Structure 1
């Protein structure tokens, strides 16, 4: 699957997740399953690819909700480490809504959220990441596929 197809699937799944979370009170896990079903109906991705994308969306939403809950702020710019006006083609309202609804659930999952590691080749939402090896920061203003570190070639990052 091409990078563009992965990015499109990530954005579709995020949109469906927003719709499901907006329909009522669902845990992130339940809402994500319903969103996966809706995304699967559209077609264009295999179940394996959809599972990967679902994992990426879950990771990003959990991290955002954890950070927003822990900081006691709703300032997305601080979490992203850049001005949200720079975000292009991303359902910001959907992402924030899902993250906000998930923050209560994530308060129980603090340890898990702190262990999120991002790998090259994975898809992620906008944000700034730091290489585990050389501390090089890379920023994504749109949904993107994480590359190898441009400074040292490492494969693992953490969101800063």
Structure 2
């Protein structure tokens, strides 16, 4: 890969990761203001956050939509985790909380504590995604390779790398995740 192409890829990843952070914060703030937290309202909050972040950044419409889909997938998985377990949202991450950026930790804490039922409703009505792929952006947490089971520990928002063990490109959430094998 040429140095120029590598630099372009790194810049794009940085833009998308930054957009993920900003959308998560926008959605969190919107959800705290809502009294009606139906799945329709949550979907609208995601779409509004997408539009605001896209307008305030150098993202294309397609990139903004892509980041919104990544954030929706992660929130759906968090909601399903909370719905299926008695433990709190910290178990979903499967990594040391000290390794997580404070802003992501704060946003997840606010969303999980205030919108547990609402995210569960969104999850139940949404298409089940259940797979994470190399190259996608995701928030912190543990992903397991669907081929060999090797963990990938995401300590911050970023692009999912191939499995370091077998180079597979498809993952599921770690032991705390929602997908059953």
TM-score, scaled relative to structure 1 = 0.88
- Listed one character per residue, the Cα deviations across residues 14-47 of structure 1 (whole Å, up to 9, x for unaligned) are 1111111122134321110111121122021000
**Is residue 159 of structure 1 aligned with residue 180 of structure 2?**
no
**Pairwise mapping of residues 97-108 of structure 1 onto structure 2 (< 5 A)?**
97-108=110-121
Q: Deviations over 1:26-85 (max 9, x none)?
A: 432111011112112202100000000000000111111211221122241x21112212
Aligned twin of 2:21 = 11
1:138 and 2:152 matched = yes
Within 5 A, what are the aligned runs for 1:106-125? 106-108=119-121, 109-110=123-124, 115-125=129-139
Unaligned runs of 5+ in 1: none
| Matched pairs, number | 159
2:93 maps to which of 67, 73, 80 = 80
| C-alpha RMSD over aligned residues | 2.0
Report the TM-score when normalising by structure 2. 0.79
Bigger-Rg structure (1/2): 2
Q: Which runs of 4+ in 1 moved over 6 A?
A: none
- Deviation of the 1:144 alpha carbon: 1.2
Determine if contact 2:82/2:120 at 8 Å carries over to the other structure: no
1:91 corresponds to: 104
